[in-house]
Amino acid sequence: MTLLILGVLLYSLLHLFKRILPGPRAAMGDAGKGVVALGSLAGIVLMVIGYRAAELVPVYTPLPGMGHLNNTLMLISIFLFGVGGTKGTLYPRMRHPMLTGMLLWAVAHLLVNGDVASIILFGGLGLWAIFEIVAINRAGSWTPPTDGRGLKGDAMNLVGTVVLYGIIAGIHIWLGYNPFLGTYG
């Protein structure tokens, strides 16, 4: 469990570094991006190893039918992750599509996983997304972008979402966590 906690903390703190200590982060220049990228990768590795090694300690039993809601929220989450890259109709309307997607990802997983390790992983990253949104909003006002692609961007994002969802589901099945079998009763 220690590796899991360290991974969540490392990932979260590195991503909040720019918001918490903007001066030192700015002084690092482009090298700071590399530090954050490598540190984030290390955090992800620690989270994966820690989560896979964690003992199953149940806290709550997910409600029946939550598998359907989880899968629906995951589709929405993946779509939100792509909003900034494909610049569809939501692009100029949402300030934090990726962080909102991360929060939905966390909530979706907490709906179907009620053990301590899941609460630490998904709850921790969900809290990080909330803190990041608040920190960004406090830093200043937002000027919506004007260089969107409209429906073309949405179509590209939708295709990418379906493909990525299939890949993620396949990886989950390969790892023994079939997202189409749990809490559907």
Chain segment 79-109, per-residue pLDDT in tens? 999 999 999 999 999 999 999 999 999 999 9
Phi, psi of 99 (to 5 degrees): -70, -35
Query: For the chain, what is the mean pLDDT?
Result: 93
Q: How far apart are CA 46 and CA 68, in angstroms?
A: 29
- Quick one: 171 and 136 in the same domain? yes
42 and 60 share one domain: no
Residues 63 and 50 occupy one common structural domain? no
Residues 97 and 137 in one domain: yes
Domain boundary among 9, 32, 54: 54
pLDDT-derived band at 27, boundaries 50, 70, 90: confident
Non-local CB neighbours of 103 within 8 Å, separated by 6+ positions: 126, 129, 130, 133
Whether residues 15 and 66 share a domain: the answer is: no
What's the pLDDT tens digit per position in 8-25? 999 999 999 888 888 888
Q: Map residue 60 onto helix, strand or coil.
A: coil
**pLDDT score of 79:** 97
The answer on pLDDT for 50 being more than 70 is yes
- How deeply is 55 buried, as exposed, middle or buried, from its count of CB atoms within 10 A (0-12, 13-18, 19+)? exposed
Domain count, the chain: 2
Residue that is last in its domain, among 14, 35, 54: 54
Q: What does the pLDDT read at residue 106? A: 98
Domain region containing 152: 56-185
Indicate whether 117 and 185 sit together in one domain.
yes
Confidence at residue 184, expressed as pLDDT on a 0 to 100 scale: 64
